[in-house]
Amino acid sequence: MKRLAVVLALSALAAAVLAATPTPDAAHQVFEPMGPQAGHIGQLWNLFVAICAVVFGVVLAVLLVALWRAPRAPHTAPGDVSPLADPERRATRRVGLGVGAITVLLLVLVVASVFTDRAIARLSLKDAVSLEVTAHQWWWTVKYLDGEHVSDRVETANEIHVPVGRPVIVQLRSDDVIHSLWLPNLAGKRDLIPGRTAMVTFRADQPGVYRGQCAEFCGYQHALMGLLVVAETPERYQAWLQAQRQPAQPPTDAQAVRGRTVFESTACAMCHTVNGTQAQGKKAPDLTHVASRSTLAAGTLPNTREALADWIRDPQKHKPGTNMPAVPLSREDLDAVVTYLGSLR
Amino acid sequence: MLILSLVVALAACEREERTFRTPLPNATPQQAGERQSANQPAQPRTDLVRNAASPRSPYEGNAYGVAQGKRLYRWYNCGGCHANGGGGMGPALMDEHWRYGGEPAQIFQSIVQGRPNGMPSFGGHIPEDQVWQIVAYVRSMGGQLRKDVAPSRSDTMYPGEAENARPKMPIKPEILPPEQPTGGPQQ
C-alpha cells in the first residue's frame, strides 16, 4: 500500500512537470495544431490514445482480478497439479465477447484513420500558393512557382513563408537520397523519393514561426536538417515575396564591394547563386537574400555575423560531413565576405 | 590467422576512412605556376597558382575520397566537355595517355593552371583538397586505381561491367584494319 502511494505521488509530480514545461519559440509540437491538416491528425491521435488507454486499463484490470481470485496455498505445500488432469475448457462466452469487442475497437480505429485521410484530402485548394521543395543532403531548396512570368519565380532555402488562411500546395522532390518533410504543427510526414514527385497540402490558420524537420534518416547530418515555416498576414507575405523577386542590391561600402569580388572569384561562386552577380552556382543554397533569413545551414546556426564567419571558416566543425568545403580565406577577405553577405537583405 | 584478419581489417579501415576536417596537402610553400587559361568560372583571376606539393593524390587508396571526386566531377560540370570520361568537346579521360601527362601531379596542374584551347583554370576557384579528390576520380576512370577503391559506374548508364572493372584485354588482331601494301600502286 505504501509503495502504491509512492508510485502515485511520483506520477503526479511527473505530470505536473510535463504540464509546466514551456514551449519553445519556433513551435515543433504535434499537440498544437495550427491548421486543419494537423488538426485532423491530432483528433485521430486523441482517439487512438483514448481507445488504447481503455483497452490497456481493461487488460490490466482482468489480470488483477485473475491474480486476486487465484487460489492461495502456503509455500511449503506441494504444488497443485490436479488441473493437468482436466482437459482445457473450450472458449467461454466471455472470451468470445472479449474477442468480438477487440475486433470492433480495431475496426473503429481503421475506419477513423480512413476518415482522417478523407478529411485531409478535402482541404479546399482554391487560390492556393504553389511551392516546390527539393531536399538535399542536408538542406532544403524552396521555389515559389506563382507569378505571371518565369522570372517571377523565387528561390530560397531552408525557410518557407506562407500567408495565413491560404492553402499551400507543396511539390516534393529529392536530389539524392530519400528524405521526409515533417511540419508537426501544420501537416503530417511525407517522403521525398529520388525521381518521383510527391505532394503535401496544408493551411496555416495562426501566424507564427513553426519548425519542420527531415523525418527519414538520410546520412550524417539528418538531425541537423531543419527548416522554418513563417506564417504571416497576406500583406506581409506579399511584401516578402516582392522583396525576394528583386535581384541582389549592389554593395555600396568598400568592404562589401571587396567581399563581392572575393565571393565571385573563389570557391563560393562555384556552388552558390547571388542573382544579379556572376555567382550562378546551382549546387548550394541560393544566397540572393540570405541576410533576410533567420538561420544558417538548415536551422543549425543563428544568422549572426559571428556564426556566419565561423561557418565559412570551418563548416565541418558545425556539421561534420557537410558538402560545403572549408575555404581558406585571409582574415580580411573573410570579414569582407561576411559583410557582403550581411548586406544581402 | 588472427594477424592476417587484423591486417585485412585495418586495410579496410584505410579504404573507407572519412576525414571531414579538410587536410591541407598543399600547405607547404611551393613554386608558383602561371595560369594558362583566362577561361574561368565566375570572376577570372590573374594571380599565380600553387603547384602540386606531392606527386600522388592523398585520396588514391580511399574509396570515400574517390566517391567525393565523382560527385565533384558532376557538380563542377567536368562532364560538360569530357562527358562521362569518353570525351566530347574536351579530350577523353578513360585512358592513361594524356596530352599534358597522366600522372596525378600533372593532372592536378592541368586542373589548377588550365590548358590552352578551352580547359579553364580552376586554381583558387576549387579548394585544393577537392582538386586532389577529382584527380583520384579521374584516374579511376582509366583503371589506374585499385578496383576496390574505384567507384562503380552510375546506374543511369550502360548496365554492363564498367571499364575499370573489366579484365585488360589485348586488342584482337581481326579488328585492326588490313595492312596496306607498301610500294607503288598496283596495276
Q: Chain B residues contacting A, CB < 8 Å?
A: 18, 20-22, 24, 41-45, 71, 75-76, 124-127, 129-130
* Mean pLDDT for chain B overall: 83
Residue B11's Cα: distance from chain center in Å? 23
Q: Cβ A326–B45 below 8 Å, yes or no?
A: no
Confidence of residue B30 (pLDDT cuts 50, 70, 90): low
- Looking at per-residue pLDDT, the higher value among B176 and B55 belongs to B55
Q: Which three cell numbers stand for residue A49?
A: 490514445
* Distances, alpha carbon B48 to alpha carbons A93, B82, B117, B145, B168, in Å: 92, 25, 19, 30, 40
Question: What is the helix (H) or strand (E) element at residue A334, kind and residue range?
Answer: helix A331-342
pLDDT value for A19 = 47
Contacts of B76 in chain A (CB under 8 A): 270
Residue A161, strand partner residues: A230
The shortest C-alpha distance from B76 to chain A (Å) reads 7
Q: Say if residue A138 is preceded by a cis peptide, omega within 30 of 0.
A: yes
Q: Cβ B20–A278 below 8 Å, yes or no?
A: no
Contacts of A320 in chain B (CB under 8 A): 20
Phi-psi region of A15 (alpha: psi -120 to 50; beta: other; left: phi over 0): alpha
pLDDT value for A14 = 59
ipTM: 0.78
pLDDT at residue B20 greater than cutoff 90: no
Write down the residue that cell numbers 577537392 correspond to. B130
Contacts of A267 in chain B (CB under 8 A): 125-127
| Residue A86 DSSP class | S
Separation CA A135–CA A161 (nearest Å): 17
pLDDT at residue B3 greater than cutoff 60: yes
Task: Kindly list the averaged pLDDT for each block of 10 residues, start to end, along chain A of length 345.
Answer: 60 54 62 92 94 93 88 73 70 83 93 95 93 95 92 93 96 94 94 92 94 94 94 96 93 94 94 93 94 92 94 92 89 95 93
**3-state per-residue secondary structure call for A91-133:** CCHHHHHHHHHHHHHHHHHHHHHHHHHHHHHCCCCCCCEEEEE
Q: Which whole number is the average pLDDT over B76-85?
A: 92
pLDDT value for A81 = 74
* Choice among A75-84, B42-51, B97-106 with the minimum mean pLDDT: A75-84
Round the CA-based radius of gyration of chain B to a whole number and report it.
20
**pLDDT 10s digits, A246-287:** 999 999 999 999 999 999 999 999 999 999 999 999 999 999
Q: Cβ A280–B42 below 8 Å, yes or no?
A: yes
The shortest C-alpha distance from A223 to chain B (Å) reads 17
Contacts of A323 in chain B (CB under 8 A): 71
* Choice among A35-39, B22-26, B55-59 with the minimum mean pLDDT: B22-26
Burial A19-30 (b: 16+ CB within 10 A, else e): eeeeeeebbbee
* Distances, alpha carbon A200 to alpha carbons A167, A189, A207, in Å: 11, 9, 20
pLDDT value for B8 = 60
Question: What is the helix (H) or strand (E) element at residue A12, kind and residue range?
Answer: helix A2-20
Q: How many other C-beta atoms lie within 10 A of the C-beta of residue A204? A: 28
Check if A320 contacts B (Cβ < 8 Å). Answer: yes
- Looking at per-residue pLDDT, the higher value among B155 and B102 belongs to B102
Q: Are A142 and A131 in contact (CB under 8 A)?
A: yes
Amino acid at B154: S
**pLDDT 10s digits, A311-345:** 999 999 999 989 999 888 899 999 999 999 999 98
